[in-house]
Structure 1
Amino acid sequence: MAKMLYENRMPGGTHWSLEMKQGTTLKLIDQEGGANVGMLFYNPQNPLERYNAPDTLKCQHTFKLTQGHCLYSDMGRIFCSIVDDTVGWHDTVGGNLSKAKLREKWQERTYQEARNDWTLSGTDSFLVELAKYGLGKKDLAANLNLFSKLVVAEDGALQFVEGNSQAGDAISLRFEMDTLVVFHTCPHPMNPAPAYPKKPVIYQLWQADPVTADDECMNACAENQRGFQNNERYLAGCHTGACCS
């Protein structure tokens, strides 16, 4: 039986990072509804390996992310698999809230001015966390926006869908390799809310159940099977791939 290892709450408009070990699960819960979690992944042993949004989507022939999907690195390996999801749609094309967009949409309030009621951009949130590991602006990549949904209008424009995630909705990410996870609870850059939305999220760390031969994520498509094989080689110590060709 899976065992919960840790639980904490992140207020809206804050940021955090941690290293998830292979065989653990990160569960995120939208406490009030309308949350957004911007997220990036890196290999802690080689931070040049990071989450790749285009490969994640094209490998699985999808525009959205939900249960059964895997999240790929730019080395063809799988950082984590979505093993449970009550939301049904998570965005991976909408981008991140920049400081310029923050100023354009909502009032920027510094900590010196507003203390804990300050407003942070997603970009600054990522950069603060990345700096803890010797990383910076050059290491930013296209990010996930968990709990958020974008659709394509008839004219081709992307539209933000309000109310996509309800209070209590959750997503669980099972990690298939050790992964540095950097995330924030700043709003989606396309959220039309008149005031800067601060939606809290609960995060839990669980011991994951072993991956079985009939695993939903691994067997969702042939590409995912190859991704798990790449992980198997990597975890066996064949990092270059030359000895496994």
Structure 2
Amino acid sequence: MIGWYRIERDAWSHDFFKPSPMSEREAWFWMIGRASYEDTTHRVGGEPLECPRGSFFVTLRELQSVFMWQSDTKVRNFLKRLEKEKMIERTTCGSRNAPKTHVTICNYDKYQSPERTENAPKTHRERTKNAVKKQDNKKQDNSLGEPAGSAPKKGSRLSEDWTLPRAWGEWAVGEGMAEFSVRREADKFRDFWIGAAGAKGVKTNWQATWRNWIRKSIDDAQKQNKQHEKPGFVDSGAFGNIREVC
């Protein structure tokens, strides 16, 4: 799954959800939501300290309370692992009796920049449009079906009990071939490919192979008709072409 979505900060305090201990993933999302979205200041022990965008001040006890974890040791270990993975940076501020941790979310702007927020609807529409187009293309490719016993994606041989799909025959008629000729070509097509030896008889798309077969058959028939029409030849039926004697 790719992409991203916005979520309101007050979702964490919504009355619908029953308070319960957070998972580490939920705790991480909470920290991102807690980070300041713009540069500001925060008082620690009465002293105003800079709090840059993407960071926040917090005590370990507060995190333990919000996460609803049983011990501050779990909180400390969680922060250490986030720091090790370069997901956060942290420093300790204030007096020893009332310290606070300054947490900075690494790569905050990568996911929370105004540009990404403003372009989110357009990006979502484009991704949705591309996904629908891709799905429609896939449906169109499979609309006429594949012959029984074939596996076009991996390559397969034509099944010995193959019969011409109705849609394939209708396509051939639409190309200008007579129905009886289509049936005859289907018989020739089946016998030829069932008898083909080795890799020659393996195809990844039998429908495309059928279309090429029909196109070649039509082209060959047209060439033959043109040959019959050449000067110096007459059509003599079953006896073939006989040159006229002048």
TM band (smaller chain): under 0.3
TM-score using structure 1 length: 0.21
Report which structure shows greater RCO (CA 8 Å, sep ≥6): 1
Asked which structure has the greater CA Rg, the reply is 2
Q: TM-score, normalised by structure 2?
A: 0.21
Greater share of residues in strand: 1
